[in-house]
């Protein structure tokens, strides 16, 4: 194939016309979508360079894109959101991850505090929000090591170990 810059203007125009005819017959978005899938690393690198070289423009585009598409977003299930967040945390912390949607089942009531009914409609984390807990914090998000418990239970659990919690419980019972 010859170098485009060495072609005559007449040859260049023929090629441009062929491209216009192709574009009129074909869906370009399908072409770009296929190209992006086949050249993922190349496209991601280019997009990253563009974002880094134009931070103000990127921020402006993100705000505009968010505002324009907010109404079109379909809500995802709380289970899927918890699964995705766990995967992100596992990757960031270098933890093992092999759980699936079947491992993230939100019970009606918290298994630690049965008087707390878990609410999935909370827009922010509250004591009755469901959270994904790693039963053994030294392990990752692996099958058999995760449970859905209330935010309250998870917060209390995260600040101590079983022995410390027993000591607190023993001390509290002295006031009964």
pLDDT tens profile 112-167: 999 999 998 877 889 999 999 999 888 999 999 999 999 999 999 888 888 888 99
DSSP secondary structure code for residue 124 in this structure: S
How many domains are there within the chain? 2
Q: What is the pLDDT, as a whole number, of residue 83? A: 92
Q: What residue spans of 26-150 are helical by DSSP H? A: 28-38, 40-53, 55-69, 78-93
Whether residue 22 is contained in a domain is answered as yes
Per the structure, the complete domain to which residue 167 belongs is given by 78-173
Q: Is the pLDDT of residue 27 over 90?
A: no
Question: Which of the listed residues 40, 70, 100 is the one where a domain comes to its end?
Answer: 70
For the domain that residue 141 is a member of, what is the CATH number? 3.30.40.220
Whether residue 45 is contained in a domain is answered as yes
The pLDDT tens digits of the residues spanning 43-71 come to 899 989 999 999 999 888 888 887 777 66
Q: What residue spans of 54-158 are helical by DSSP H? A: 55-69, 78-93, 151-158
The pLDDT tens digits of the residues spanning 61-114 come to 888 887 777 666 666 788 888 999 999 999 999 999 999 988 999 999 999 999
Whether residue 2 is contained in a domain is answered as no
Reduced to 3 states (helix: H, G, I; strand: E, B; else coil), residue 170 is helix
């Amino acid at each position: 194939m010859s170098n485009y810059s060495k072609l005559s203007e007449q040859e260049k125009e023929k090629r441009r016309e062929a491209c216009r005819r192709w574009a009129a017959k074909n869906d370009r978005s399908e072409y770009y979508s296929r190209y992006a899938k086949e050249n993922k690393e190349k496209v991601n690198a280019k997009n990253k360079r563009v974002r880094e070289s134009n931070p103000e423009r990127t921020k402006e585009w993100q705000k505009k894109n968010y505002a324009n598409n907010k109404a079109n977003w379909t809500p995802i299930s709380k289970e899927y959101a918890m699964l995705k967040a766990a995967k992100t945390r596992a990757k960031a912390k270098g933890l093992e991850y092999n759980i699936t949607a079947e491992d993230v089942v939100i019970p009606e009531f918290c298994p630690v505090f049965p008087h707390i009914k878990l609410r999935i409609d909370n827009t922010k984390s509250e004591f009755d929000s469901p959270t994904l807990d790693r039963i053994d914090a030294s392990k990752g998000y692996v099958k058999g090591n995760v449970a859905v418990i209330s935010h309250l239970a998870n917060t209390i659990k995260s600040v101590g170990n079983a022995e410390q919690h027993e000591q607190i419980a023993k001390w509290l019972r002295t006031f009964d």
